Structure 1
C-alpha cells in the first residue's frame, strides 16, 4: 500500500466519526447543597464506628521490666532454628522502631509490620521496643505489650530478645512465617508437592 492508499483507507474508516464540540474538561465544581444520599452516608459513618480488624490485645498485659528477656516459639519450630534466631545469626531483613510511640500507635504498627513482612517475604526482622528505663513505674509498657501481641499473630513463629549489639532487652528478633508465594517457590525449587 502506498501512503496515498493508506490515507484514503484511514479516511474511509473514520467517516462516521464526529468531533466533540464541548471542551474536554471535567465538571469539578462542588454541589451547593447536600443531597439525601450525602446526608445518609454521613449519618451512617457517624453511627457505625470503624471496625478494628487488628486482633492484638489492647487491654491489660503482664508488666515487664527493662531487663526481662522475651522468648517464645510456636510448637514445631526446630530447636536449631530457634537457637540461631536467639543468637542473632539470621540477617535482619527489616526493622520496626516503636520508641516514643503510644501503646495504641505501637499496636497498629506491629500489626501492619508483620503483615507487610509476610507480604514481602521477609522472614527475620527486629522490633525495637525500648526498655522503658525512663518510666517512673519501672514498667516497660511497649515491651510488655509486644510480648503479648507477637504470639497472638499467626504469622509469628518465634521471637527472642536481641543480642546486646542489636539492642539487647530493648529489642526483639522475630521470625515470620513464609508467605504462600515463598512456599510455592520452595516447592518448585525442591520438587515438593
Structure 2
C-alpha cells in the first residue's frame, strides 16, 4: 500500500490497532469458553465428592471366553504366497539340458540325479494337472502345489502341463512357462521330461529337496 499523506498513515495505524484488539478479544473468548467447559466437566465431581461403586452381590459370574487363537499357520501361508511370486520374464533357456530329453538340475547336483529321475528311482508321490488353467491361475496353483508338497515331505511329484496342441498356433506356451516357474522355486532340485507312459513331452517329473 502506498501512503500519500499523514492522514493515510493514521488510517492504517487505526486499522492495525483494531485488528489487534479483535485478536485479543477472540483469544479472551476462547479462554473463557475453555474455562466454562472445564467447569462443566468438574461440576458433578465437585457436587458429590469422591464416590466408590457399591459391591453388586447379585452379579452374575459369566464364564470367561478364551481369546480366539491367532491363525499363525494362515499368516505363514500368506507370507509364503508372497515369497512364491513367480515371474514370467525369467529366462530359463540357458539352464535347461536338452540331450535326449529336456531336463534341469541345480548347480552342484550331479547328472546322475537326473539320470535316476528318468529311470524312475524315485516314486511319484503326487501330481498336479494344469490343463485348462489360464497362465496366472497355473502359476499360483503350481507355486502352492510345490510349497505344500515340500512342506509335507514329498520328494518326487509330477507336473502335467500339456503339449500345447490346443493353444493358438499350437505353441506350447504353458509348457515353457512351467519350466521357468519350476527353476525359480528353491524347493526344486531337478526335473526331467516324463516317460511316454507318464505324459511324455506334456509332463515333468520333479525332484524336491528334503524337507527341513
Say whether the fold is shared (TM-score over 0.5). yes
* Aligned equivalent of 2:201, options 169, 172, 178: 169
- Which of structure 1's runs of 4+ aligned residues deviate more than 4 A? 59-63
The Cα shift of 1:137 comes to: 1.3
Distance across 2 between alignment mates of 1:121 and 1:54: 18
* Corresponding residue for residue 87 of structure 2: 57
* Corresponding residue for residue 112 of structure 1: 144
* Aligned equivalent of 1:135, options 167, 173, 185: 167
Aligned pair count reads 135
Q: Which runs of 5+ in 1 are unaligned?
A: 1-16, 23-50, 181-193
In our comparison, the structure showing a higher alpha carbon Rg is 2
Residue 121 (structure 2) pairs with residue 93 (structure 1): no
Q: Structure 1 residues 61 and 142 mapped into 2: Cα distance closer, same or farther (>3 Å)? A: farther
Q: Alignment partner of 1:137: what SS?
A: helix
Contact kept, 8 Å, 2:192 with 2:205, in 1: the verdict is yes
TM-score, normalised by the number of residues in structure 2: 0.56
Distance across 2 between alignment mates of 1:52 and 1:179: 20
Contact kept, 8 Å, 2:86 with 2:184, in 1: the verdict is yes
TM-score, normalised by the number of residues in structure 1: 0.61
* Corresponding residue for residue 102 of structure 1: 134
The Cα shift of 1:61 comes to: 6.4
Superposition RMSD on alpha carbons, in Å? 3.1
Normalized per residue, the structure richer in helix is 2
